[in-house]
Structure 1
Amino acid sequence: MKWHQALIDYKNYLRIERGLSENSITNYSLDIKKLQQWLNENTIDETPISISEDTIQQFIYHVAKLVNPASQSRIISGLRGFFNYLIFEEYRKTNPLELIESPKTARKLPDTLSEKEIDLLIRSIDLSTPQGERNRAIIETLYGCGLRVSEVINLKISDLFFEEGFIKVTGKGDKQRFVPIGNLTKKYINIYRKEIRNHQEIFPQAKDTLFLNRRGKGLTRAMIFTIVKNLTEIAGIKKTISPHTFRHSFATHLLENGANLRAIQQMLGHESITTTEIYTHLDKSHLTEVINRFHPRKD
């Protein structure tokens, strides 16, 4: 089996059997391509079936010189998954990464925006342009519903159940969930739909897509990142902010105001509660308040 064919088969497996998104499949593929490129550059003639643990170890040493521990750990994890797939398909008997340990990495939490900073960002939007009304609705949806950027750009008009107070979100692996939507977010989405979107010429493929660019097509991830970056600069906020910051802030603010961690897990679409706990970096004053309010020995 050649690398090219193995990669095609693996991508089909990730897409069909695992139900992963195209972004995830692309990331996994890049790890395998890096290994393949390194083999070619060093004229090492080993296939996915024959490659040895020693060769993999040499590649990992090479990678360690180029990337940080977190990236190194991700590449090791990606390759381990690929060779586990080959074992599953009975192409190999062993995984050459089985004894290779990932480097220890510190868990770095992203910046969180305060409620005042979010209000400042929204006030910084120029509402005199059609794009301004759209951008306000996007930011309110990111923060008000805790969505991933991919979930926002793929949100459909048919996913809006405003009378019931929910939106239907298609997350990782095409898994769907219903997320509550607040009145303020509904208000700004409705303003955008009625005053801006209804007056656009829309491409047939985007008829049901909620957020559109000025040409009537769906937005890209890069567009959302650019919108957030520009707003951050206008607002004069010095933190490192991305669309994901609003999702993180959504979870943190809910938790700080007493929301149940399991409920937050459901709204974020996390399979594991452990993943949700990443969002719970609370300051000590809040933890003290929890003890003072709820512990039976507080007095």
Structure 2
Amino acid sequence: MSIKKTDSGWLVDAQPGGRGSKRFRKTFKTQAEAKAWEAWLKTQVTQNAKWQPEKRDTRKLSELIDLWYTHHGSGLKAGANTYSRLKLACAAMGNPVADRFTVNTFATYRTDRLAAGIAPNSVNREHAYLRSVFNELRRLGQWGRSNPLAELRQFKVQERELSYLTVDQIHDLLSELQGGKNRHAAMVARVCLATGARWSEAENLEARHIRNDQIQFAGTKSGKVRFIPVGPELTEQLKSHHLKTETGQRLFAPCYSAFRDAIERSDIQLQDGQLTHVLRHTFASHFMMNGGNILVLQRSLGHANLTMTMRYAHLAPDHLQEVVRLNPLSALTLG
């Protein structure tokens, strides 16, 4: 603190909380008034916490990630995978001191990731993971500051076109799978086409999951159990298939590569990054084209909200049909 004589009076220039704290400057007519105000400022440091500089948090970012995993992440289905991704990102950012990690730190990191050819979707996921670390640590009382990534917006990602198989392509694909060496792939594909299940969900089915012409899917992406009805014909096919195989309680042995080989043999062209997921898209697309209810589709696919399911709404037979009847060109034609 200091008191100086100036042309306009006695100037108090003080930081009562010490270096890094809020600075106060005020001019008084007399030196006595200036000294009295300076003394009052000093008392505020001990009486009011807001006058004190914020204490440093010298933990490393990696320590915060470890805390998150110990107290929260380890209980998540994909917690181990998320933890591994977070640690890699942390190392790439130089493992900064916690209170020196800022939005600019991550913004620079993600710019470098994009320049290296990493997809915006992947960068957005890393952003979401790290933001959730700070949110959860705040809830746990392990982080008292604001979330440094709270205001950072994610990249807008161009929505990819959804591709699905036609009836003829489905027939060709099932024929290729049936004729392949792996005896499980064709039946796993049938389950996906009949229920909208992900390949992993269908491939991991056990005999106990087939009851009363229903298939129970556990260990799903959302962590929730789904019950999907199937016809008695598919039920019998699944039971018969299990009797002929030596897979224990499991209905199928791993057969992902067999599906990939069948796609190549059938010469079906899929979008980049899409393979077995085309079966899930095919189920949803044909469901809507055949007049299915969008809410029933949501429950069948296990989507947490309707936003994801609405991607298939345009395939409904009556989707936006009023556009055909009510556009101005149609009025000219009628006239």
Please say if 1:60 is aligned against 2:110: yes
Question: Partner residue of 1:279?
Answer: 312
CA drift at 1:72: 2.1
The structure number with the bigger radius of gyration is 2
CA drift at 1:10: 2.7
Question: Partner residue of 2:166?
Answer: 114
**Counterpart among 231, 242, 246 of residue 193 in structure 1:** 242
Gaps of 5+ in 2: 1-58, 325-335
| Higher RCO (C-alpha 8 Å, min separation 6) | 1
CA drift at 1:126: 4.2
Question: Partner residue of 1:35?
Answer: 89
**Counterpart among 269, 273, 296 of residue 263 in structure 1:** 296
CA contact (8 A) 2:103 2:148 kept: yes
Q: CA offsets per residue over residues 79-101 of structure 1, 9 Å max, x none?
A: 21122122222222211112211
Amino acid at match of 1:53: V
Q: 1:188 and 1:5, CA in 2 relative to 1: closer, same or farther beyond 3 A? A: farther
CA drift at 1:152: 1.6
RMSD after superposition: 2.8
Gaps of 5+ in 1: 213-218, 293-299
Q: Within 1, Cα distance between the matches of 2:291 and 2:188?
A: 26
Q: CA offsets per residue over residues 91-121 of structure 1, 9 Å max, x none?
A: 2221111221111211113321112211110
Please say if 1:236 is aligned against 2:267: yes
CA drift at 1:61: 2.5
Q: Within 1, Cα distance between the matches of 2:243 and 2:323?
A: 47
Please say if 1:21 is aligned against 2:77: yes
Question: Partner residue of 1:78?
Answer: 129
Q: Within 2, Cα distance between the matches of 1:98 and 1:128?
A: 51
CA contact (8 A) 1:256 1:286 kept: no
Identity among equivalent pairs (%): 21
Q: 1:176 and 1:290, CA in 2 relative to 1: closer, same or farther beyond 3 A? A: farther
Question: Partner residue of 1:11?
Answer: 69
| TM-score between both structures, scaled by the size of structure 2 | 0.69
Q: Within 2, Cα distance between the matches of 1:127 and 1:278?
A: 34
Q: Within 1, Cα distance between the matches of 2:195 and 2:163?
A: 18
Q: How do residues 84-123 of structure 1 correspond to structure 2 at under 5 angstroms?
A: 84-92=135-143, 93-123=145-175
Question: Partner residue of 1:253?
Answer: 286
- Aligned residue-pair number: 262
